[in-house]
Structure 1
């Protein structure tokens, strides 16, 4: 049995489809497989993937490529002694940011990850909605070190059209290992992390369908184009899964007729 989940963002302008084999059933022509208890590492990978998925969905619903990605760094003398102190630093700064947004009649949306490196350095990655002078607001709110801010689309290490890279970057933790050029994995660079988002970003539940068979190819719906396709093997069930994102074609610009006065 194949299941399909459909998530709709921005009133249907963006659609994400997830297709996967139900773990309660065998592959076509095979018997139902006996459930196996997942290993601790498999569960960790599943949980990490779920966290990145929720982050990606909030990015797709509430943010655009023109919004702000940045980092608050700590000068050495201002490094916090522990995560509790770092959380307090963030909360004080984000209250200042929220107040500035409110002055301008804007609502603040944010995603952040506080990271402590294995060598003792601290920094906070953030994504916030752009309102015109966001970089200046973020810089003035942070008193503990430097501020780096750029439009999401102008940061190639984290930008792709369906926000997969950005979501993975924002949810990395002490278990995350970067792949080297030779295919081996580096040692983790983080000692501890704290990921969170603002509370004003609810997500709707997906629509779920059951399919009779696994389709080898996917086609975009009428009026949409496929932004990205991701396929792989579920580490727990051992079955294929697929995720693809579609976006509506830009609406054609209305032709403006200029009327001349005679």
Structure 2
């Protein structure tokens, strides 16, 4: 069975992500081509959410790092918006203020956000923005509707891992998201409504696509790189295995500067 491989490169090749999956257009050796089946509504929902999470992770890998700012704007009870339209206006008004402050410092603003309405009626806005030195202060002064929580991404264990998988999943939660309880069973959804979006100044390059002869049991890093994560699973539509691994280039060794003595 043929293997399809996509190679994504971020930050001018500093980070490489490889995505491999069995090509469903081909059967196993000696068998006929697999007949395509129409995916169910639930399968398509899973595919769509996986694609949204992937695009979010890719934008995080290209435009953010572990020292950037993750946070939440909360609403006081008196300032809760009546609907999502009003919440969107609150965000748009506030992010304009933030953008102005970034421009004053000759810096470009990159942001990812998810507006969430809980099943009990509370509203909040999760955000990721690039750190410019006083970002937390800027985000606090701009928000007039309630409180704020802000921290470096690397210092928030519930959302941080090296390839940003946890953060991407957290930022793209929706009304279907179910947290896993301690006993391993899914809890009831905690969100009634969400709105995910990113700033427009974060384009992504298309991957390089190859077809390989066979599925390799082990993955190896490229020369000069080390692997930071490997994820494997089953595609919900095709039923075939897939694998994703991310590698980072080793930092260049610092050159020793020789001081010449004056005689």
Q: TM-score, normalised by structure 2?
A: 0.98
Deviation at 1:256, TM superposition (A): 1.6
Is 1:220 the counterpart of 2:236 in the alignment? Answer: no
Which residue of structure 2 lines up, in the alignment, with residue 135 of structure 1? Answer: 136
CA distance in 2: counterparts of 1:115 and 1:41, whole angstroms: 22
Is the partner of 2:251 in helix, strand or coil? coil
Deviation at 1:29, TM superposition (A): 4.3
Is the partner of 2:217 in helix, strand or coil? coil
Superposed counterparts of 1:53-92, under 5 Å: 53-92=54-93
Gaps of 5+ in 2: none
CA distance in 2: counterparts of 1:12 and 1:80, whole angstroms: 43
Is the partner of 1:124 in helix, strand or coil? strand
Q: Report runs of 4+ in structure 1 exceeding 6 Å deviation.
A: none
Deviation at 1:180, TM superposition (A): 1.4
Which residue of structure 1 lines up, in the alignment, with residue 124 of structure 2? Answer: 123
Gaps of 5+ in 1: none
Is the partner of 1:53 in helix, strand or coil? helix
Is the partner of 1:44 in helix, strand or coil? helix
Is 1:16 the counterpart of 2:39 in the alignment? Answer: no
Number of paired residues?
Answer: 262
Deviations 1:59-118 (CA, angstroms, capped at 9, x unpaired): 000000000000000000000000000000000000000000000000000000000000
Which residue of structure 1 lines up, in the alignment, with residue 111 of structure 2? Answer: 110
CA distance in 1: counterparts of 2:259 and 2:182, whole angstroms: 58
Superposed counterparts of 1:20-39, under 5 Å: 20-39=21-40
Deviations 1:38-79 (CA, angstroms, capped at 9, x unpaired): 111111111000000000000000000000000000000000
Is 1:242 the counterpart of 2:232 in the alignment? Answer: no
Deviations 1:99-156 (CA, angstroms, capped at 9, x unpaired): 0000000000000000000000000000000000000000000000001100000000
Is the partner of 1:213 in helix, strand or coil? coil
Superposed counterparts of 1:77-226, under 5 Å: 77-226=78-227
Is the partner of 2:44 in helix, strand or coil? helix
Q: CA RMSD in A?
A: 0.9
CA distance in 2: counterparts of 1:29 and 1:43, whole angstroms: 30
